[in-house]
C-alpha cells in the first residue's frame, strides 16, 4: 500500500506507513534540521580529529594501531573536514544571517565544497562514512575532560564563525603538512582547498551584522547640515531628537577635520542622551574618534569593504545606493543598512537622475537589510515612500529648515509608525 500523504495541523500527531509523526511548523522544522546538522557536524569533526591524529603518527606505530587508522584513510579524513566545513560553518550559521545574503553564501559554499570533493578525491582512497565512524573513541578523547572557561561561551554568531573557521584551517593545514613528507603535489592541492575555505569564511563573516539589529527599528532619520538649518545646528539636532528622530547623521562636507570631530562628538553625545543612533557622513576616522554609532558612505567614497575593516563588526555601516546592483553589492560588502534614492528631486543635493519608487520597491522586495529612502521627502509625499515598501525615511530640509524642527519631526514620525 502506498504511503499516505502527511496532512495535518501543527502539533498534531498522525500515522503514516505504520509510524507516527508530529506535524511541525516551517520554523520548527528549520530549527529541528539545524539541530540534526549540528549533531552530524560534531560527529564528523571528532572523526576528522581521530584521522588526523593517526596520520601524524608513524604508519604502523602502536599509536596508529590503537587508533585503528590505516595510512590510506587520508582521503577520508579530508572528506570529513569538508563535511565539517559545510555543516558547521555554512548550514548552521547561514540561516542566522540575512536570508537573501545567506542564500548567496550557501550557494558559494556548495560550489567550493563540490570543488573540494573533486580535488580531494585525487589525494587518496575514499573511506565511507560508516567505516570512518568506527574509529570514534569518545572515552579516549581528551576533549571530553579538557575545558577552559572561554570554550563554554561565544559572544555572538560571528565568533562561532571564527571558531569553526579556525578548526577547519588547522585540520586542512595538518593534512597538508603531512602530505609534504611524501607527496608535495598533493600537499599543494590540499593547500588550494584550504585557501578556498578561507575565502568562504570571509564571505560568511561579512554577512553577520550584529549592528544591523540596532538599526532595524529606525523610522525617522535626520541629516544635520548647518547651512540648511534655520536655527542653530545644535538646537535643531536636539529638537529633532525630542521630536522622535531615531537617528541623526552629521553631514558636513566643508568643515576642517578638527572642527568636524568636535561637532561629531556633540552629535554622538546628544544621540546617546536620547537613545538614538549617531552616524557620521563619509568619515570612518571621525566616527571612531567621536565614538559615534556608525558611518555612512556613498558610491564615490571609501569602498564599504575597506570601511568595514576600519570600523570593525560592531559599528553601523550605511551605504548610498542608486540601482539594485549597487544595493546587492553593498549587502555583500558588509553594509548594515542601505540609503535608497534619490526618491524625489531635492534642492539639498541636486542630481541629474531620480531612482524613484521603482528602486525602492525593488530593494524592499529583494533585500532584507534595513533601507532608508532619501531625497526630497517631506510631510506631503511621505505616503508615496511608504507605499513602495520602504519603512524609513531620511530628511534634511523637512526638519532642519523648519521654523519648528521638533514639531516637524513629531508630525513625520507619526506618519511613519
Helix (H, G, I), strand (E, B) or coil at 14: strand
- For residue 203, the tally of other CB atoms under 10 A from its CB is 17
Please identify which residue in the block is written with the cell numbers 570533493: 117
CA–CA separation, 373 and 356 (whole Å): 9
Residue 320 annotated among the catalytic residues of the structure: yes
Residue 368 annotated among the catalytic residues of the structure: no
Choosing from 240, 278, 320, 402, the catalytic residue is: 320
Choosing from 136, 305, 349, 361, the catalytic residue is: 349
CA–CA separation, 279 and 293 (whole Å): 6
214 to 210, 286, 294, 388: CA distances (angstroms):
7, 20, 11, 23
- Extract the C-alpha cell encoding 169: 584551517
Helix H or strand E segment including 207:
helix 184-207
Residue 349 annotated among the catalytic residues of the structure: yes
With contact defined as beta carbons under 8 Å apart, do 250 and 224 qualify? yes
With contact defined as beta carbons under 8 Å apart, do 95 and 204 qualify? no
Choosing from 251, 308, 315, 406, the catalytic residue is: 251
CA Rg value for the chain = 27
Helix H or strand E segment including 274:
helix 257-274
Measured in Å, how far apart are the chain's first and last C-alpha atoms? 56
Catalytic residues: 251, 320, 349
Amino acid at each position: 500500500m502506498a504511503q499516505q500523504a502527511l496532512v495535518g495541523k501543527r502539533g498534531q500527531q498522525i500515522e503514516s506507513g505504520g509510524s507516527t509523526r508530529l506535524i511541525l511548523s516551517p520554523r520548527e522544522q528549520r530549527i529541528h534540521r539545524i539541530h540534526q546538522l549540528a549533531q552530524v557536524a560534531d560527529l564528523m569533526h571528532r572523526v576528522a580529529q581521530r584521522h588526523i591524529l593517526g596520520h601524524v603518527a608513524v604508519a604502523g606505530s602502536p599509536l596508529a594501531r590503537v587508533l585503528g587508522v590505516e595510512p590510506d584513510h587520508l582521503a577520508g579524513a579530508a572528506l570529513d573536514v569538508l563535511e565539517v566545513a559545510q555543516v558547521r560553518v555554512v548550514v548552521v550559521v547561514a540561516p542566522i544571517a540575512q536570508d537573501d545574503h545567506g542564500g548567496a553564501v550557501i550557494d558559494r559554499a556548495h560550489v567550493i565544497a563540490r570543488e573540494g570533493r573533486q580535488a580531494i578525491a585525487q589525494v587518496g582512497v575514499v573511506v565511507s562514512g560508516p567505516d570512518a565512524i568506527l574509529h570514534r573513541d569518545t572515552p579516549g578523547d581528551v576533549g571530553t575532560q579538557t575545558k577552559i572557561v572561554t570554550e563554554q561561551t561565544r559572544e555572538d554568531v560571528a565568533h562561532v564563525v571564527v571558531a569553526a573557521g579556525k578548526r577547519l584551517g588547522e585540520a586542512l593545514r595538518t593534512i597538508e603538512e603531512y602530505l609534504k613528507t611524501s607527496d608535495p603535489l598533493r600537499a599543494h592541492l590540499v593547500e588550494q582547498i584550504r585557501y578556498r575555505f578561507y575565502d568562504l569564511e570571509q564571505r560568511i563573516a561579512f554577512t553577520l551584522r550584529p549592528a544591523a539589529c540596532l538599526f532595524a527599528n529606525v523610522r525617522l532619520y535626520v541629516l544635520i547640515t548647518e547651512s540648511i538649518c534655520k536655527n542653530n545646528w545644535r538646537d535643531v539636532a536636539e529638537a529633532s531628537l525630542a521630536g522622535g528622530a531615531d537617528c541623526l547623521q552629521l553631514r558636513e562636507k566643508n568643515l576642517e577635520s578638527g572642527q568636524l570631530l568636535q561637532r561629531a562628538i556633540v552629535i554622538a553625545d546628544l544621540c546617546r542622551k536620547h537613545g538614538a543612533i549617531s552616524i557620521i557622513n563619509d568619515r570612518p576616522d571621525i566616527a571612531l574618534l567621536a565614538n559615534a554609532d556608525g558611518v555612512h558612505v556613498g558610491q564615490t567614497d571609501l569602498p564599504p569593504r575597506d570601511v568595514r575593516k576600519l570600523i570593525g563588526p560592531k559599528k553601523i555601516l550605511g551605504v548610498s545606493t542608486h540601482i539594485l546592483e549597487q544595493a546587492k553589492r553593498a549587502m555583500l560588502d558588509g553594509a548594515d543598512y542601505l540609503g535608497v534614492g534619490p526618491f524625489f528631486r531635492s534642492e539639498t543635493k541636486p542630481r541629474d537622475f531620480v531612482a524613484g519608487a521603482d528602486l525602492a520597491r525593488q530593494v524592499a522586495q529583494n533585500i532584507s537589510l534595513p533601507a532608508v529612502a532619501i531625497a526630497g521627502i517631506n510631510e506631503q509625499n511621505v505616503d508615496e515612500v511608504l507605499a513602495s515598501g520602504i519603512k524609513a525615511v531620511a530628511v534634511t530640509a523637512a526638519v532642519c529648515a523648519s521654523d519648528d524642527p521638533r514639531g516637524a519631526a513629531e508630525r513625520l514620525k507619526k506618519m511613519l509608525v
